[in-house]
Structure 1
Amino acid sequence: MVAMRAKVKIASIARYPNDEAPTQETLSFNFPSKDGPYPSDGSDEDQQFARFSPMGSLYLTVANPALIGKFAEGDTFYLDFVPVGK
Structure 2
Amino acid sequence: MPEMRAKLQVSFVQEHFSELDGVKTKYSETVVMHAVCRTNGYSDTNGDDEDNTYAKYSPQADFRITVANPALFGQFKTGDKYYADFTRAE
Q: Which residue does the alignment assign to 2:9?
A: 9
Q: Which residue does the alignment assign to 2:78?
A: 73
Gaps of 5+ in 1: none
Root-mean-square deviation over aligned CA pairs: 1.9
Is 2:52 the counterpart of 1:47? yes
Q: Given that residues 8 and 29 in structure 1 are in contact (C-alpha distance below 8 angstroms), is that contact kept between their aligned partners in structure 2?
A: yes
- Runs of 4+ in structure 1 off by over 2 angstroms are 36-39
Gaps of 5+ in 2: 19-23
Q: Deviations over 1:10-35 (max 9, x none)?
A: 000000017x7422000000111122
Find the partner of 1:23 among 13, 17, 27.
Answer: 27
TM-score using structure 1 length: 0.85
Write the distance in 2 (CA, Å) between the matches of 1:21 and 1:38.
46
Q: Where is the strand percentage greater, Structure 1 or Structure 2?
A: 2
Q: Which has the larger radius of gyration?
A: 2
State the one-letter code of the partner of 1:28.
Answer: V
State the one-letter code of the partner of 2:88.
Answer: P
